[in-house]
Amino acid sequence: MRTIYWDSGQDEVHLIDQRLLPGELHYLALRDYREVADAIRQMAIRGAPAIGAAAAFGLALAARRSRATAREALLHDLQQAAGVLRQSRPTAVNLGWALQRTLKVAEETEGGADELRAAVLDEALRIAEEDVAINKRMAEHGAALIDDGDTVIHHCNTGSLAAVDWGTALGVLRMAHEQGKRIHVLVDETRPRLQGARLTAWELEQYGIPYAIISDGAAGYFLSTGQAHKVIFGADRVAANGDVANKIGTYMLALAANDNQAPAYAVVPTSTIDLSLAEGKQIPIEEREPGEVLNIQVGGQAVIPAGATARNPAFDITPHRLVTAIVTENGIARPPYSSSLRAAVAGKLAG
C-alpha cells in the first residue's frame, strides 16, 4: 500500500488523506508545492519518512509549475518552495533532509531549466523507492528482537501510512508476523489525534495481526502485570546521544517500560538521526493548536468547559537511558549511542 506516489500522466502527487481513515480510503491529488505544505501541516500526510518523500515531491511540483526558463531563476524558485515546505513541520528531520538532498542534486545538475526539472523529479522518485527498501531492511533487523508469543505495546502510527510503504516500528511487527511468530499488539490510542486507534488499528486489520486498543494511560498497567513484554515506537528525530523525539506520550511509555524491566525499541531510518544535535533538548518541539485537545465530544456533547485552555505539544523527548536499542536499516544500534549511531549512519555498524 503506497502512502504517496507520483502520477506522471497528470504531473501530480497523490497521497492518502489520513484524516479520513479509518472511515474512508481517499487519495488527494496535489498540483502545487503549497498544497503539499498544507497537507503536511494539517496532517493529511504524517510520519517522518512519508513527510520526507512528500517534501521531495513538493519540490518536483515546484519545478514543474515554475515558469522559469533560465537555470538560476528556477533554482531561486526551488529555494523559495523549500522555505515554505521546511516550515510545515519543524520537528521531523526527514523533511529538511529530503529538501537538502533534492536541492543539492538540482544545484549540481548541469544544463538548463528543463534538465533541472527532470533531475529534481528523478531524485524525489529515488527517495521514495529508497524508503521502501530501507523500511524492509529495518523490519528484518528488528524482527529478530520480537519473540514468538510476545505482546508488544506500540505507540502512535509507524506503518505504511507513516512511510512510503511498509513502515518502521509497525513494519518490524509486520515482518515478525509474516515470519510466523505469534504476536499480539496493544495499540496506544495516542491522544489527542488518535493515530494509534485510527491508523495503526486499521493497518493491523489489513495485515491480520491480532491487537487490542488501549488508552495511553493503561500501558503501565499492562507492563507492570506482565501482560505486555516489550515496547516499540518510531521517531521523528534522534539526537547524536540517542535521545529520541517522538509522538507525545512516548516518554511516559518508555518510563513505564524501564520501571518494569521491559525493553523499549525505537525503529528509525538513518535519515532520522541528526548527528548535528548533541542531545534531545536541542530538538525543536512543535506545539499544535489547542483545539486538538479541547474539541472532544461524547455523544455529540462537548466534555470540556467553554473557555478552557490547553497546551498541545506534538512530541516529547525520551532520554537515551530509557531506550534499549535503536533499529536502523544498517543494523541495531545499542548503547553507547554516541558511537553506535555514528556507525549506523556511516553504514559501519557491527553485528
Identify whether 192 is preceded by a cis peptide bond (ω within 30 of 0): yes
C-alpha distances in Å from residue 195, one per residue of 101, 161, 231, 241: 29, 10, 17, 28
Kindly list the distances between the CA atom of residue 222 and the CA atoms of 118, 149, 195, 254, 287, in Å, as whole numbers in the listed order: 52, 15, 20, 13, 29
Please state whether beta strands 273-274 and 237-239 pair in parallel, antiparallel, or not at all (unpaired). Answer: parallel
Q: Residues 63, 116: contact at Cβ < 8 Å?
A: yes
Helix or strand holding residue 205 (H, E) = helix 201-207
Name the nearest CA neighbour of 232 among 255, 256, 264: 264
Judging by beta carbons within 10 Å of its beta carbon (0-12, 13-18, 19+), is residue 351 exposed, middle or buried? Answer: exposed
Do 94 and 88 form a contact (C-beta atoms < 8 A)? no
Q: What cell does 223 get?
A: 507492563
Phi, psi dihedrals of residue 7, rounded to the nearest 5°: -95, 100
Q: Look up 236 and say whether it is catalytic.
A: yes
The residue annotated as part of the active site, out of 131, 236, 274, 316, is 236
Give the residue numbers annotated as catalytic, written as ranges.
236
